[in-house]
Structure 1
Amino acid sequence: MAVCSFYPLNPNLLSFSDYLVLSHHSQAYLSVRKGSVRVRVLSTHSNAKILKPNRKSRYGHTFDDTDDDWLLPDEFAEPVDFEVDGKKRVNLQKKTSPREGFQGMINASSLKENFVLAGDHRPFKVRTSNKSREKSRFKNSTKEADSSGINRQGKLMTGKSTEDRYPKLSEEINLDKKWIPLLDYLSTFGLKESHFIQIYERHMPSLQINVCSAQERLEYLQSIGVKHRDIKRILLRQPQILEYTVESNLKSHVAFLMGLGIPNSRIGQIIAAAPSLFSYSVENSLKPTVRYLVEEVGIDDKILGKVVQLSPQILVQRIDISWNTRYLFLSKELGASRDSVVKMVTKHPQLLHYSIDDGFLPRINFLRSIGMHNSDILKVLTSLTQVLSLSLEDNLKPKYLYLINELRNEVQSLTKYPMYLSLSLDQRIRPRHRFLVALKKAPKGPFPLSSFVPTDESFCQQWAGTSLDKYLAFRQQLLLKEFAKKYERRG
């Protein structure tokens, strides 16, 4: 049996104020590390600020580089019960009463450390018994040498102790030698000691899984299209996936996705993007979310599969709140009709994740500042909703300045060709403009934005009247010059 496990809590050891802190959360688990014991408490309240500042999307906008766990369960979401190695187990995300939920998690008689609660960082002591026996058990478990493991080819290897093979991990936690075969197997997916510490803190029981069971589950995921390189990312975000049995859990969720019309070739990508969907009950959470999208939002069920492919997280977020707040905002701010907002969600469902204060408003206000009216902004957003994901400084502003100063166009031209805002300034807009100018084939007056729409080959045939190779060589030379200018400015 593993040294570290969940311990039932004696509520009598909690102060009244500490109990109040616990009672306002519905998810928690224990994280035991050498020298400290932490109760990790996960709030189920909505995150008011979804769009964070340090990760860029494919369109240049910024997001927080976190996993999809901030996408909180919807009002009717009920996390699924799952089986662990043939035994029924209740998902720790399932809602329980404070006393009932914590009673089965922490055994205060086995602890001799301090607890630190999220939201209340005042430490409080826990009375313990049999201290000497507990101390001896932890000490012996960490010093016991491990004589077997599994290399990348699945063969046994011997001769290294637990501390020698995983020194940093042994320093951080009370490492059970029985975990070593699983750690060796997971290492074949690129996980390192620092990643195991993250998994331990996030969901320690995942490291207690039998290596054969873990291999069965990960091989199944790969068989349905999950890439080998994505396994590490999935495990860091949703380590509980090691506990979900193939027959009782994984296959039912895959069947649900296929039932939405999602092709087999895209299943693996959706799982990699939103692995937490396995922790949600198909019947009590995922299907009600789908019904809400169809019946309340108004998305055509025939294209629902395409919407999910664009944003898999839509299945695991608080969809009712996300939809209502953004619909009400757009209707009040821009006079958007319900049909217009439904079109936006259908084309770019990611907008349901964007913050109103940090995502919607800054971009709408920028478009207003350059002279666009609400009706014009609504046309642009309905046609090209991903404008709400574009970076102001790195995308929208530079393209607007190039439109006015270089292309000699009016801002109103964007309502007819909003796609201009989604095109790359360096790779598409500037090279084509400069190429036609160099060939002396640039039209007089405002430069036509329609010339940026076709493919490179069509552009050369219709506008430049020259070969594709000649244009590509010109673009490459221009990119090198622009790079040199940026390098000089930085220097």
Structure 2
Amino acid sequence: MPQCYGISIIPHPLPYPFFSLSLSLSSLSAMAPAAGAVALHSSLCSTASEKPYSPLRSTLLHVAPKPKSLLQNHPLYPPTHAKLSLEFKEKILCLEVMGIDAGKALSQNPDLRTATMESIQSIITFLFSNGILEKDLPRIFGMCPKILTADIKTDLTPVFDFILNELKVPENSFRRVINKCPRLLTSSVKDQLRPALLYLRRLGFKDSGALAYQDSVLLVSNVEHTLIPKLRFLETLGLSKDEIRSMVLRCPALLTFSIENNFQPKYDYFAGEMGRKVVELKEFPQYFAFSLENRIKPRHTEVVQSGITLPLSVMLKSTDEEFRELLKQGGG
């Protein structure tokens, strides 16, 4: 079912009048931006009469919310870029109408320059067949434009098979998983997803549903270069392997934090300025999830100035109102 998306589709009993592909870009630029977008989008999504039937031929098209930018304002549109083909400019507009930043997408995925509209349409149709909705496309493609040039058979189908058979996610929940972590669709099952899943299970992550719906970012994290170094860093703090395993099972986000930008500076402040013992981290690993500048330092400073003592979890988890009340009460 080849078509371009990023517009609302309302069934209509009569064939929709098609714009000819001969419609010039110069005439489009003279139109109001939204009108130009609709016109060129129609020329993109409409094909010659010899093309196979498409449901778009029996629909009325209405413009969706204004895209981030239209072709008229895109740096690749002006006449100075006359060497760019009409097809390429149409491709840019179609991406923009879908709500995708075409410049960013082309920068992150140069293969888009040579991808045909037919191949992009086939990927969109495939995603729709697996439960993805039109409104999901801007986020999915915006985060991972490489999906637009993926191979359905060798790249995308194995991922959905993995989600179904190894994460045990029913087909009607595919959308929830992909929206949570679009990077799944750009990850190799053999080289990335399956090794990560096996390693996480050895660590103690037994709930496949939790991995699929909540912590799927761990599945796209490299075991050797991302997960293991973080566990080793926690060991250097004097924590045992069993203690670390318990910490990451209670707070899986630990495996997503940067050593240089998170663990190290927060631990230095914890052990230095706060003078606290590592046993508190074992009891409250969520400490690393709080902002050092906006939460940890200000709260610690106020606690010190008030001359009270608060458990780490109470100091950080309490709301601003609860925290003020604790300070007034001298720690409760």
Q: Quickly name the TM-score band, shorter chain normalised.
A: 0.5 to 0.7
Equivalent of 1:363 in 230, 233, 237 = 230
Cα distance in 2 for residues equivalent to 1:397 and 1:341: 30
Partner SS for 1:339: coil
Listed as ranges, the gaps of 5+ residues in structure 2 are 3-23, 31-69, 327-332
1:305 aligns with 2:175: yes
Aligned equivalents of 1:344, 1:450: Cα separation in 2 = 28
Q: Secondary structure at the match of 2:206?
A: helix
Q: Does the C-alpha gap of structure 1 residues 409 and 319 become closer, same or farther in structure 2, counting only changes over 3 Å?
A: same
- Are the equivalent residues in 1 in contact too, given 2:140–2:179 (CA < 8 A)? yes
Q: What is residue 273 of structure 1 aligned with on the other side?
A: 143
Q: Does residue 225 of structure 1 match 2:110?
A: no
Residue aligning to 1:257: 127
Report whether the alignment pairs 1:292 with 2:156: no
Kindly indicate whether the alpha-carbon contact (under 8 Å) linking 1:354 and 1:360 is maintained by their aligned counterparts in 2: yes
The 1:347/1:413 distance shift into structure 2, 3 A limit, reads farther
Residue equivalent to 2:189: 319
Which of 79, 84, 109 matches 1:238? 109
Q: CA distance change for structure 1 residues 209 and 344 in 2, over 3 Å: closer, same or farther?
A: same
User: Contact 2:167 / 2:208 at 8 angstroms: preserved in 1?
Assistant: no
Partner of 1:373: 240
State how far apart, in whole Å, the 1-side matches of 2:287 and 2:172 are: 30
From the superposition, tell whether residues 281 and 354 of structure 1 become closer, same or farther in structure 2 (CA, over 3 Å). closer
1:452 aligned residue (304, 316, 323): 316
Give aligned-pair identity as a percent: 20
Out of 345-354 and 313-322, give the one that drifted further: 345-354
The superposition leaves residues 450-484 of structure 1 with CA deviations (integer Å, 9 ceiling, x where unpaired) of 33235xxxx22112149xxxxxxxxxxxxxxxxxx
Cα distance change, pair 465–373 in 1 and its aligned pair in 2 (3 A): same
Question: Is 1:341–1:382's contact at 8 Å kept on the other side of the alignment?
Answer: no
Shift in Å, 1:271: 0.8
* Residue deviations 1:297-335 (CA, integer Å, cap 9, x gap): 43455554333234322112211331332344455xxx4
TM-score w.r.t. length of structure 2? 0.64
Instruction: Find the aligned partners of 1:239 and 1:366 in 2 and give their Cα distance.
Output: 37
Post-superposition offset of 1:221 = 2.1
* Aligned residue-pair number: 263
Q: What residue identity is the alignment partner of 2:316?
A: F
Q: Which amino acid aligns with 1:222?
A: E
| Preserved CA contact (<8 Å) 1:381 1:387 | yes
Kindly state the Cα deviation for residue 242 of structure 1 after the two structures are TM-superposed: 4.7
Aligned to 1:401: 268
Matches of residues 456-471 of structure 1 in structure 2 within 5 Å? Answer: 459-465=319-325
Q: CA deviation at 1:407?
A: 3.9
The answer to whether the Cα contact below 8 Å between 1:436 and 1:464 also exists between their aligned partners in 2 is no
Alpha-carbon distance change, 411 to 425 in structure 1, aligned in 2, over 3 angstroms: same
Measured against aligned partners, the alpha-carbon deviations of 1:390-437 in whole angstroms (never above 9, x if no partner) come to: 222331022123333444543233344332212210111111222343
Alpha-carbon deviation of 1:268? 0.9
Structure holding more helix per residue: 2
Q: 1:190 to 1:452 in 2, by over 3 A?
A: farther
Identify the structure with bigger relative contact order (alpha carbons < 8 Å, sequence gap 6+): 1
Q: 1:210 aligns with which of 64, 68, 85?
A: 85
The structure with more strand, counted as a fraction of residues: 1
Question: Map of 1:408-427 to 2, 5 A cutoff?
Answer: 408-427=275-294
CA contact (8 A) 2:158 2:189 kept: no
Q: 2:253 pairs with 376, 386, 389, which one? A: 386
Q: 1:261, CA displacement in angstroms?
A: 4.6
Deviation at 1:245, TM superposition (A): 4.9
**Secondary structure of the residue that 1:412 maps to in structure 2?**
helix
Q: CA deviation at 1:355?
A: 3.2
CA deviations over 1:171-210 (Å, ceiling 9, x no partner) = xxxxxxxxxxxxxx98953469xxx9xxxxxxxxxx9863
Q: How far apart, CA to CA, are the structure 1 residues paired with 2:72 and 2:279?
A: 55
Deviations 1:345-365 (A, max 9, x none): 643333334333332222111
Is contact 1:363-1:392 (8 Å) kept? yes
Give the 3 Å change call, closer, same or farther, for CA 460–218 of structure 1 in structure 2: same
CA distance, structure 2, for counterparts of residue 263 and residue 282 of structure 1: 17
1:189 aligns with: 74
TM-score by length of 1: 0.45
Is the alpha carbon distance of 1:393 and 1:264 closer, same or farther for their aligned partners in structure 2, counting shifts above 3 Å? same
Q: Secondary structure at the match of 2:267?
A: helix
- Cα distance in 2 for partners of 1:373, 1:260 equals 43
Q: 1:384 to 1:337 in 2, by over 3 A?
A: closer
Cα distance change, pair 215–350 in 1 and its aligned pair in 2 (3 A): same
Kept after mapping to 2: 8 A contact 1:260/1:305: yes
Gaps of 5+ in 1: 1-81, 83-148, 156-184, 197-206, 467-491
Contact 1:235-1:241 within 8 A present in 2 as well: yes
**Higher Rg:** 1
For the 8 Å contact 2:167–2:212, the answer to whether it is kept is no
